[in-house]
């Protein structure tokens, strides 16, 4: 989707502000949001692509007005409600109960969940899955699709309809565009594609600053033999 | 929508007290439904606060600096090479700084970052400013970070758009020939592994 999250190349945000000796979290609630979100993933309540797309679906003005962990909180609640795990009314009621000093939840222990979550920080990720053989080889010139899909995609706007070169064939990975929408993992080849800065930014490009993106084969067409003709 | 800025420049739609209450309520509901345990949240938070941080990535970089065969394995198959040192949780691509080439990592679409090796990302990495500008004006962004590279140096930007994570292998600074692997690791900063800083010899090491 052409969302506010797709920020590559935008103007108007100003200098990058840094904080010296920044803490890992700026408030305790931020750390709980991170932990709850990781636990929900470990319980397979939603996958990573659904989770990214849920943030993208925030109203643009809310996205811009929220901090990083506020967006995570919004995402987690949104998905748990959509999947029927909780309701917004239930959440409001529980807030009122907690505010009056009453937490009705009995303690719950789950050592296996703890193990799974800690192991996930050390083991191989599950996103590489077998798929069809690659269509493109290293060094081949490609043209990215200029589609503007309404759903989730990892082809950013600034790199659509652009010429690039296959820099690396990474192997077969789960396809976010379908996995975010309950349409299956549909793994296929992921490539690193190199774009010259001038191809992306024209006359305003900085010199010698190529951008590399990891792009799935379905985002790419071979460079047409005759200019302007699609070969897909 | 009422907003307020706190001392870290964060913009909040709601007061911290309401945010905090909503998060506690969410945890309480998930605990009640036996989907989450508070201990699981505690343990993962503590892992990120204490065990998982830039010191992990620094060990990988230092090993690559002292062991050319390891460096080759790291550049060829980063995931397998970090497993040799006991790290994982990431499908890793290591990109090497060398004379004439500097690498810079960003995620324009969200905030993908090699957590397992350098911890949770700083606020600036997740900021709209960095995400929007790093791909279009990397030289200007780097100058703001104090890194002014001549135009003869190619800046390779890596926009993390898939489930691969990028780690910059900085150049080993001159004058560090006598240092041990552990001493070298102390020179490697988080920012150098993202590509917004250079690695400096011990006398001038900072940040």
CATH number at B65 reads: 3.90.330.10
pLDDT confidence of residue A33: 98
**Structure tokens given for B150:** 């001549």
- Please name the CATH architecture into which domain A141-222 falls: Roll (2.30)
Q: Examine the residue annotation and report whether B2 is marked as an active-site residue of this protein.
A: no
Q: How confident is the model at residue B4 (pLDDT cuts 50, 70, 90)?
A: very low
Burial class (CB in 10 A: 0-12, 13-18, 19+), B2: exposed
Are B13 and B84 in a shared domain? no
**Residue of B18, B44, B158, B168 for testing the chain A interface, max A β-carbons within 10 Å:** B44
Q: With contacts defined as CB-CB under 8 Å, which chain B residues touch A97? A: 25
- B133: contact with A, CB 8 A cutoff: yes
**Residue of B163, B165, B206 for testing the chain A interface, max A β-carbons within 10 Å:** B163
Q: With contacts defined as CB-CB under 8 Å, which chain A residues touch B92? A: none
Are B57 and B46 in a shared domain? no
Are B73 and B28 in a shared domain? no
By C-alpha distance, the chain B residue nearest A14 is B129
Q: With contacts defined as CB-CB under 8 Å, which chain B residues touch A211? A: 135, 157, 159
Q: Would the pLDDT of B104 be above 60?
A: yes
Are B165 and B93 in a shared domain? yes
Q: In which domain, by residue range, is B63 found? A: 53-204
**Cβ–Cβ below 8 Å for B45 and A34:** yes
Q: Examine the residue annotation and report whether B110 is marked as an active-site residue of this protein.
A: yes
- B19: contact with A, CB 8 A cutoff: yes
Q: How confident is the model at residue B1 (pLDDT cuts 50, 70, 90)?
A: very low
- Give residue-wise pLDDT tens across range A184-232: 999 999 999 999 999 999 999 999 999 999 999 999 999 865 454 444 4
**What are the CA-CA distances from residue A169 to residues A190, A194, B157, B192 (Å)?**
6, 12, 18, 26
**Residue of A8, A25, A86 for testing the chain B interface, max B β-carbons within 10 Å:** A8
- Those residues whose C-beta lies under 8 Å from the C-beta of residue A159, and which sit 6 or more positions away, are A8, A144, A195, A200, A211, A213, A215
pLDDT confidence of residue B206: 45
Nearest to B29 among A18, A32, A86 (CB): A86
- Among B110, B132, B161, B180, the one annotated catalytic: B110
Nearest to B28 among A27, A94, A210 (CB): A94
In CATH terms, the fold of domain A28-120 is: Cyclin A; domain 1 (1.10.472)
Are B61 and B14 in a shared domain? no
Are B143 and B65 in a shared domain? yes
Q: Would the pLDDT of B32 be above 50?
A: yes
**Cβ–Cβ below 8 Å for A68 and B126:** yes
Phi, psi of B141 (to 5 degrees): -60, -45
Grouping H, G, I as helix, E, B as strand and the rest as coil, residue A71 is helix
**What are the CA-CA distances from residue B56 to residues A29, A90, B182 (Å)?**
26, 41, 12
pLDDT confidence of residue B10: 56
Q: Examine the residue annotation and report whether B111 is marked as an active-site residue of this protein.
A: yes
Are B57 and B28 in a shared domain? no
d(CA B3, CA A231): 50
d(CA A61, CA B16): 19
Nearest to B157 among A27, A77, A212 (CB): A212
Residues of chain A within CATH 2.30.30.50 domain(s) are 141-222
What's A222's DSSP letter?
E
**Structure tokens given for B142:** 């780097």
pLDDT confidence of residue A224: 65
Q: How confident is the model at residue B201 (pLDDT cuts 50, 70, 90)?
A: confident
Residues of chain A within CATH 1.10.472.20 domain(s) are 28-120
Mean of pLDDT over chain B: 93
Contact of A37 with A1, CB cutoff 8 Å: no
- Listing DSSP states for B139-207 in one string gives HHHHHHTT----TTSEEEEEE--SS-EEEEEPPPPTT-TT--HHHHHTT--HHHHHTSS----GGG---
d(CA A102, CA A108): 17
Q: What is the residue-level pLDDT of chain A in tens, covering all 232 positions?
A: 999 999 999 999 999 999 999 999 999 999 999 999 999 999 999 999 999 999 999 999 999 999 999 999 999 999 999 999 999 999 999 999 999 999 999 999 999 999 999 999 999 999 999 999 999 999 999 999 999 999 999 999 999 999 999 999 999 999 999 999 999 999 999 999 999 999 999 999 999 999 999 999 999 999 865 454 444 4
Are B28 and B9 in a shared domain? yes
Are B45 and B143 in a shared domain? no
Q: With contacts defined as CB-CB under 8 Å, which chain B residues touch A100? A: none
Structural domains of chain B, count: 2
Q: How confident is the model at residue B11 (pLDDT cuts 50, 70, 90)?
A: low
Are B142 and B168 in a shared domain? yes
| pTM higher than 0.90 | yes
Are B44 and B60 in a shared domain? no
Interface of B with A in 168-207 (CB under 8 A): none
**Cβ–Cβ below 8 Å for A95 and B21:** yes
Are B21 and B118 in a shared domain? no
């Amino acid at each position: 989707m052409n969302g506010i999250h797709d920020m590559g190349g935008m103007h108007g945000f100003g200098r990058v502000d840094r904080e010296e000796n920044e803490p890992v979290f700026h408030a305790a609630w931020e750390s709980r949001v991170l932990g709850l979100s990781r636990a929900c993933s470990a319980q397979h309540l939603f996958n990573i692509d659904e989770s990214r797309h849920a943030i993208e679906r925030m109203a643009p003005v809310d996205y811009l007005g929220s901090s990083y962990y506020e967006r995570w909180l919004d995402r987690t609640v949104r998905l748990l409600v959509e999947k029927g795990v909780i309701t917004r009314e239930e959440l409001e009621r529980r807030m009122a109960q907690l505010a009056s000093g009453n937490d009705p939840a009995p303690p719950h222990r789950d050592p296996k969940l703890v193990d799974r979550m800690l192991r996930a920080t050390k083991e191989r990720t599950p996103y590489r899955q077998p798929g069809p053989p690659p269509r493109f080889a290293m060094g081949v010139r490609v043209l990215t699709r200029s589609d503007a899909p309404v759903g989730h995609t990892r082809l950013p706007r600034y790199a659509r309809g652009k010429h690039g070169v296959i820099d690396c064939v990474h192997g077969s990975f789960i396809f976010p565009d379908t996995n975010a929408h309950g349409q299956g993992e549909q793994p296929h080849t992921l490539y690193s594609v190199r774009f010259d800065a001038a191809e992306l930014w024209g006359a305003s490009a900085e010199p010698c600053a190529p951008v590399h993106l990891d792009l799935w084969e379905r985002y790419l067409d071979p460079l047409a033999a005759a200019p302007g003709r699609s070969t897909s | 929508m009422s907003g307020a800025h706190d001392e870290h420049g964060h913009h909040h739609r709601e007061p911290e007290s309401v945010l905090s209450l909503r998060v506690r309520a969410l945890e309480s509901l998930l605990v009640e439904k036996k989907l989450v345990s508070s201990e699981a949240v505690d343990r993962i938070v503590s892992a990120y606060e204490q065990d998982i941080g830039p010191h992990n990535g620094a060990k990988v970089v230092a090993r690559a600096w002292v062991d050319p065969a390891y460096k080759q394995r790291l550049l060829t198959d980063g995931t397998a090479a970090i497993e040799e040192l006991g790290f994982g949780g990431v499908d890793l691509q290591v990109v090497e700084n060398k004379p004439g080439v500097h690498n810079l990592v960003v995620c324009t679409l969200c905030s993908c970052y090699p957590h397992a090796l350098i911890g949770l990302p700083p606020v600036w990495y997740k900021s709209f400013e960095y995400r929007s500008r790093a791909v279009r004006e990397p030289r200007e962004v780097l100058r703001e970070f104090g890194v002014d590279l001549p135009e003869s140096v190619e800046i390779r930007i890596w926009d993390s758009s898939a489930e691969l994570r990028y780690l910059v292998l900085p150049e080993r600074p001159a004058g560090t020939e006598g240092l041990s692997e552990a001493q070298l690791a102390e020179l490697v900063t988080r920012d150098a592994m993202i590509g917004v800083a250079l690695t400096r010899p011990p006398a001038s090491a900072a940040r």
